[in-house]
A and B are shown apart, each in its own frame.
Chain A
């Protein structure tokens, strides 16, 4: 079946550091891929998405590229801020109309 694996956290970075959170997936067909962010005490918010191979999703300085050859959708940001501290979830939506979420990666950015 479909699955999503993302790197274990927590990830702790200093402000202005480069961020990478790895996400790989297993799926049949051509799923859509998403990154969601959850700030403390809130629900998940859609951060970015890509619906086909080689698409790049971007939002708020975050980027992720849908790589079919490596079945990956890594999240990157060139310069993180304290306000980026949150839990990040990689997710996949496939042909069964079900979303599969990763277990989440907590990011802590220190001033």
Chain B
């Protein structure tokens, strides 16, 4: 089944403790992206990647890192999480960076930083 898989689904952590949220897609998609979803703010893009070893900042990149060493994986790293990073996170992929293909989304990771 074609899908984007994120792990974990739920995570509670403490301020400052490094964490990684994994994202993997099995569709050979070039373009991958991370979003956070907050009430009243909709979805905001954190980082995106147009292909292996090519990443760039989205609208809210502060406090996050990403890497794209393989085409299928696009992990999101929080080096020193803070409470304002408590949010619902989605990974998404698309066949190409051209806008007309649409995204496939993962099921989301609900992160709570205390």
In angstroms, how far is the closest chain B Cβ from the Cβ of A60?
A: 15
Residue tally, chain A, CB below 8 Å to B: 22
For chain A, residues 25 to 45, give those with C-beta under 8 angstroms from any C-beta of chain B. Answer: 31-32, 34, 36, 42-45
Q: Which residue of B lies closest to A52 (CB)?
A: B100
Asked whether B40 lies within 8 Å of A103 as measured between CB atoms, the reply is: yes
Pick from B40, B45, B107: contact of A99, CB below 8 A: B45
Asked whether B103 lies within 8 Å of A99 as measured between CB atoms, the reply is: yes
Kindly name the residue among A32, A46, A94, A97 whose own CB sees the greatest number of chain B CB atoms within 10 A. A97
Asked whether A97 lies within 8 Å of B97 as measured between CB atoms, the reply is: yes
Evaluate whether A101 and B42 lie within 8 angstroms (CB atoms) in the complex, with A43-B105, A44-B103, A44-B105 already known: yes
Evaluate whether A101 and B31 lie within 8 angstroms (CB atoms) in the complex, with A43-B108, A44-B90 already known: no
Pick from B33, B99, B102, B103: contact of A31, CB below 8 A: B99
Q: Which residue of B lies closest to A34 (CB)?
A: B102
Residues of chain A within 8 A (CB-CB) of B107 are 42-43
B104 within 8 A of A: yes
Q: Provide the bound-state CA to CA distance between A49 and B99, in Å.
A: 11
Q: Provide the bound-state CA to CA distance between A99 and B90, in Å.
A: 14
Binding site for B on A (CB under 8 A): 31-32, 34, 36, 42-46, 49, 51, 89, 93-95, 97-99, 101-104
Given A36-B103, A98-B58, 12 more pairs with CB closer than 8 A: A36-B105, A42-B107, A42-B108, A43-B90, A43-B105, A44-B43, A44-B103, A89-B42, A94-B99, A97-B99, A98-B48, A99-B33
